Structure 1
Amino acid sequence: MAEDAYFEVTTPLDRHVRVTAAYWDVIVTLKHPIMRGKEDLVRQALQTPIEIRQSRSDPSVYLHYGVEPPYLICAVVKYLNGDGFIITTYRTSKIKEGTVVWTP
């Protein structure tokens, strides 16, 4: 695990994704406070998603979906030079449009 990583996982696409503690704090403080304390659900969405889609607007961005009934958890990841990092994560009631790249 990288020194500054808050957590790091490998996705079913065999890609490594990480987030720093500082950036996780930005997500749960400014972007989506509802996600505070939901690190395990985000890890699960990345490691064992129900679906992964490629963003329609940015081909380097992938949306990994997990479940938190009655909602879904979406972990949005950008891949640059082989490295993946979480852009944001949020709860949603539906999967966004985009190209399906992986299903179990």
Structure 2
Amino acid sequence: MNNSEKDSILFEIITPLGFVVRTTVGYWNIISTVKHPIMQNRLEDVMQTLMSPDEIRVSKNDEKVFLFYRADGNKRWVCAVSKKLEIDGFLITAYRTSAIKEGILLWQK
């Protein structure tokens, strides 16, 4: 994969909070192969989590970081973590979890 392919936008999704979250092909590759390999074939689930989450929380450590949760089986969730900049944001990471992190509940389905 060359640099222009790595830098190309993989998705831009409008969240229920009204801001756009985006990621590049190269960064998704890092998330799905290095950070959280279990997410390798879960791109669609991450996109759905950002578009239609069950709940959204604000990180207790950083008010610009949002955790989007969507049910993924019995007592399991997909969590997509994004950071909002001035107008829009970017995907920090995505993973499966058995526990919803503390943080301020901002939005619920």
TM-score, normalization by structure 2: 0.90
Are 1:21 and 2:22 counterparts? no
Normalized per residue, which structure has more strand?
1
* Offset at residue 80 of structure 1 (A): 1.1
- Counterparts of 1:12-91 in structure 2, within 5 Å, are 12-70=16-74, 71-91=76-96
Residue 103 of structure 1 corresponds to 108
Is the partner of 2:62 in helix, strand or coil? coil
| Deviation per residue, 1:34-80 (Å, 9 max, x gap) | 00110111011111100000000011100000121132000000011
Q: How many residues align?
A: 102
Supply the RMSD in Å over aligned alpha carbons.
1.1
- 1:30 alignment partner AA: V
Distance 1:42 1:15 in 2: 16
TM (norm. structure 1) is: 0.94
Q: CA deviation at 1:4?
A: 2.2
Code of the residue aligned with 1:56 in structure 2: it is K
Amino acid at match of 2:29: D
In structure 2, what residue type is equivalent to 1:94? Answer: A
Structure 1 unpaired stretches of 5+: none
Q: Percent identity?
A: 47
Structure 2: where are the runs of 5+ without partners?
Answer: 1-6
Query: Which of the two has higher C-alpha Rg?
Result: 2
